[in-house]
Structure 1
Amino acid sequence: MPPHDDNEALASLAAPPSEPEHERPKTFREMWPKDWRAYLCLLGGFLQMFISWGYVNAFGTYASFYDSVLLPKADNLLMNLIGGTMCFVILLLSFVVGRLVDAGHIGKVLFTGTILLGAGTFSLSLVNGDAGEGDGNYGGIWATQGFLTSLGMACHFVSSSQVVATWFIDTKSFAVGVVACGASVGGAVISTMARYLNQQVGFNTASRHVATLVLLLSATTVLLCRPNPAHPRNPSPQWRWSTFWDSTALRSPCFCWLSAATFSIFLGFYPVFFNLEEWASASGLAFRGPDRPQGLSPDALETFALLSMMNGSSFVGRLLAAGIADHLGIYGALHVHAFVTAAASILLMAFWTTANTVGKAVAFVLLFGMFSGAVIGLPPASMAFIIGKRDKLAQARLGQRVGMMYSIASLPALVGR
């Protein structure tokens, strides 16, 4: 294709549709894509979230092991900095990844992510000596798990919902919700896997098992995740700042308000996931390790069980909220997102501070997990909602807009630990 102006290329996508302005409503069956590649892509997007944000959701289990075994003398803020760095890098690079996927480079992005993710997760097993008590290397853990692994996860995060959205035009919120469920399932599976393998075979071998799982799933996504050929691409020149950061988005009040809301969400929600095990242990509601300490309530659970419950209930919240968002039609994802955010905030302020028994702690974990799953899972669907599914010019920039929104939220993700 000969070089041409950025605006001219995009303007060509904004031609009026040939269809009548008022179409008859589609039946439920007509709303779903007929191409089998759409459902393979949906599976691939689910796996992308499993190995990216699912790994982040499981960090609480890693942090608990670091605090009790590898780095017993480390400051809690330094410990949370590892998880905060993971969130920061993934979100900060979202605008770059989103733009590259908009331009049709999904294969290269996912291949790069697979290499980086595999290198980071395997390297974690090499930096802590024998991984005995006090053998932890904080700098090595931060560099491998906190930084290198996050570079790989960044390649999967935004692209997961972005590519799936090109296939599911009329059921976009539900499809993105299914993708987001990968983070819940991944968080539960990886945290449980790491917890039991740490006890059975030691941290280094456990890390290699987790790395093998993550690498295989990441390689699978390279084969499965292909965008709809009919979806418009944004063919702007690749190496201009304006190519990656669309300043015209900042003129849209809807974009600015949604980005501000996402900024606030990442400032306040993920500390719960990262500090849940520490809080439960310090409150005497749960215990770390296989042996129950004497004097603890007979109802007390293992700390990782609470984190697994929260990740499991967030699966229900993500899927349910996404289905409701599509069902409500004109009220859409944005309104559902506002409701679940308000509900989760009330739970956090009123319920967490009063959860002083095991029963209350479990109730809080299940309810907050369900609502927070919807809160974290709906931003891409909300962005697609405010853009409009029939606006080809805006749809060509969907990945860029979603990426910019998440990049704006990267700083609070780092400091809000």
Structure 2
Amino acid sequence: MDSDQELERSDGDASDKASETSCSVFYDEKTTEQRSGPEISSSPPDGGIQAWLQVLSGFLLYFNSWGLVTAFGVFQIFYKSTFIPSSSNSAISWIGTMQGFLLALGSVFAGCVLDRGHPRRLIICGGFFVIFGLMMISLCRTYWQLMLAQGLCIGLGAGQLFIVAVAVLPGWFAKRRAIATGLAATGSSLGGVVYPIIFHKLEPRIGFAWTLRVIGFVALATCLISLTCSRQRTLPPPRPKLVDFTGFREPLFALFAAVSFVGALSLYVPFFYIVEFAKHKGGVNDALAFYMLPILSAGSILGRTLPALAADRFGCLRVLTFTTAASAILAFCWAAVYGEAATIIWSVLYGAFSGAFVSLQTPTVAAVTPDMRFVGGRMGMNNFCFALGILVGNPIAGAIGGAFEHWLGVQVFCGVSLVVSTVLLAVTWFVKEGAGTKK
């Protein structure tokens, strides 16, 4: 069925309506049929059972996309100490980096599929790749096998899940958009808590292979719930482009895309290396050092909800500028952290402030997008810039640290990157205020 022709139909065309129903297994044509054209184009409901079910769906999709990326720190330390000890930290970090890069890059093309009206197709396809990748990791024995299964396969699948999580919500929320997105984004924080603990507790008991299979079954169950709940409210544009670069002609979007790139250079460096730091530099015993990653992820739950509440009142760019500046200060303070108490406090604070950089991306892109029918493509292009930052940043940090005898260089790199991102955010904020756009 030609989705473009279908969505250009008149509301009263019975033959097109019958054709539309034949594809209802893949996306929510049934909901579209129940709504007239004017109702779909009206203001988002900002509440109701269906709207909050989209938040639940987004939460679980974040759990299985960025949640797996933020959990990579536990794999980093396991691969280096046990699984592939001959590989350098920088080389191992490329696995997690590729996973995050392809997650964000894949959302560029997945966003255009979403703009054509197929969120459920993306959940089915993305969920398959994520679960298949987890099962294949359980069979891996070499570095390149891990790169293919964890870096390539999971990365591509997670990108398809992620774009549905972020791009469906703006059609359901306007005034509460930031808090709705923030609540959904806490799924990645919970994934960063749950998946490392599952791995840490089960791997010594049932082995590496079966631990990954258990994680795969958890991902399967949560993806099925998302598939059941997901509904797209806004009609797609008449002929969405496969890749839409037109947003870069607009100063606001172009500036914010630059913010995403520069911030992503260092945002996830602590998530990749906090366990290594705690064990070898932070003065934390081995048993507690592992839990620094779940603590860091738990802190980001606060960072994805409280700033979102503030953003609905004060504006996304104002709040994001403040939280990114705080993250930059904390990155420089990382150099002075030593001892268990200090490492725990720093992890909670960095997780809290850096979490806003992720949760406020979606409402900010939506705020600078004039037509919500194109928001999937715009978010995809912004994620592409974010992906480039991830691709470059983590390996640079690994190369600077070497065998992690030079932590100061890694910490300064994080701080400088976040300072530049803060400056660009301030410029974006002033440009938006000057243009007279709200929040």
In the superposition, the TM-score normalised over structure 1's length comes to 0.82
CA contact (8 A) 2:3 2:116 kept: no
Q: Tell me, in whole angstroms, the C-alpha distance in 2 between the residues paired with 1:37 and 1:363.
A: 38
Which of 372, 376, 387 is the aligned partner of 1:410? 387
Residues 45 and 160 of structure 1 are in contact (CA less than 8 Å); yes or no, is this contact kept in structure 2?
yes
Change (3 A) 1:3 1:153: closer
Give 1:409 deviation, angstroms.
Answer: 2.2
Q: In the TM superposition, what is the alpha-carbon distance from 1:402 to its structure 2 partner?
A: 0.8
Find 1:223's aligned residue among 190, 215, 228: 228
**Alignment pair present for 1:307 and 2:293:** yes
Instruction: Extract unaligned runs of 5+ from structure 2.
Output: 11-37, 395-439
Out of 83, 101, 107, which is 2:120 matched to? 107
1:398 paired with 2:412, answer no
Q: Distance in 2 between matches of 1:368 and 1:75?
A: 26
> Distance between the aligned counterparts of 2:289 and 2:215, measured in 1?
20
Verify: 1:162 aligned to 2:190, yes or no: no
Q: Which residue of 2 aligns with 1:295?
A: none
CA distance in 2, matches of 1:257, 1:170: 24
Among 46, 51, 55, which residue is 1:32 paired with?
46
Q: Distance in 1 between matches of 2:167 and 2:320?
A: 18
1:263–1:412 contact (8 Å) kept in structure 2: yes
2:238 and 2:46 mapped to 1: Cα distance? 28
Point out which structure has higher relative CO (alpha carbons under 8 A, 6+ apart).
Answer: 1
Superposition TM-score, scaled by structure 2 size: 0.78
Q: Tell me how far apart the structure 2 counterparts of residues 305 and 247 of structure 1 sit (CA, whole Å).
A: 42
Please state if 1:325 is matched with 2:311. yes
**How far apart are the structure 1 equivalents of 2:130 and 2:340?**
37
Q: Letter of the aligned partner of 1:107 in structure 2?
A: R
What amino acid sits opposite 1:110 in the alignment? Answer: I
CA distance in 1, matches of 2:113, 2:352: 32
Partner of 1:208: 213
SS at match of 1:409: helix
Aligned-residue CA RMSD in angstroms?
2.3
Residue 71 of structure 1 deviates from its aligned partner by 1.4
Please tell me whether the aligned partners of residues 337 and 382 of structure 1 are also in contact (alpha carbons under 8 angstroms): no
1:261 to 259, 262, 268: 259
For 1:57, which of 60, 70, 73 is the aligned residue? 70
What's the % identity of the aligned pairs?
A: 30
Contact 1:31 1:171 (8 Å CA) reproduced:
no
Q: Verify: 1:98 aligned to 2:111, yes or no.
A: yes
2:282–2:337 Cα contact (<8 Å) kept: no
Q: CA deviation at 1:2?
A: 10
Q: Give yes or no for the alignment of 1:376 onto 2:358.
A: yes
Q: Which among 341, 356, 367 is matched to residue 385 of structure 1?
A: 367
Contact 1:109–1:155 at 8 Å: present in 2 too? yes
CA distance in 1, matches of 2:114, 2:175: 21
**Helix, strand or coil at the partner of 2:290:** helix
Larger helix fraction of residues: 2
Question: How many angstroms apart in 1 are the aligned matches of 2:266 and 2:237?
Answer: 34
Corresponding residue of 1:250: 248
| Partner residue, 1:356 | 338
Cα drift, residue 120 of structure 1: 0.4
Residue of structure 2 equivalent to 1:75: 88
The CA deviation at 1:304 is 2.0
Which amino acid counterpart does residue 336 of structure 1 have in structure 2? V
Q: Which residue in the other structure is 1:180 paired with?
A: 185
Alpha-carbon offset, residue 82 of structure 1? 0.4
Counterpart position of 2:302: 316
2:368 aligns to what SS in structure 1?
Answer: helix
Counterparts of 1:333 and 1:152 in 2: how far apart (Å)?
A: 29
Structure 1 window deviating more from structure 2 (77-86 vs 358-367): it is 358-367
Whole-angstrom distance in 2 between the partners of 1:226 and 1:217: 16
CA distance 1:336–1:70, change in 2 (3 Å)? same
1:148 is aligned with what amino acid? C
Asked if structure 1 preserves the Cα contact closer than 8 Å seen for 2:127 and 2:223, the reply is yes
Give 5+ residue unaligned stretches, structure 1.
10-17, 20-25, 129-136, 238-242, 291-301
Does the CA-based 8 Å contact 1:49-1:180 persist in structure 2? yes
Give 1:74 deviation, angstroms.
1.3
Q: Distance between the aligned counterparts of 2:360 and 2:256, measured in 1?
A: 11
**Residue 95 (structure 1) shift:** 1.3
Matches of 1:313 and 1:268 in 2, distance apart?
Answer: 17
Report the AA paired with residue 51 of structure 1. Answer: N
One-letter code aligned to 1:340: T
Partner of 1:144: 149
Q: Which amino acid aligns with 2:317?
A: L
Runs of 4+ in structure 1 over 3 Å off: 1-4
SS in 2 for 1:416: helix
Deviations 1:100-154 (A, max 9, x none): 11110111111111211111011111123xxxxxxxx111111111111111111
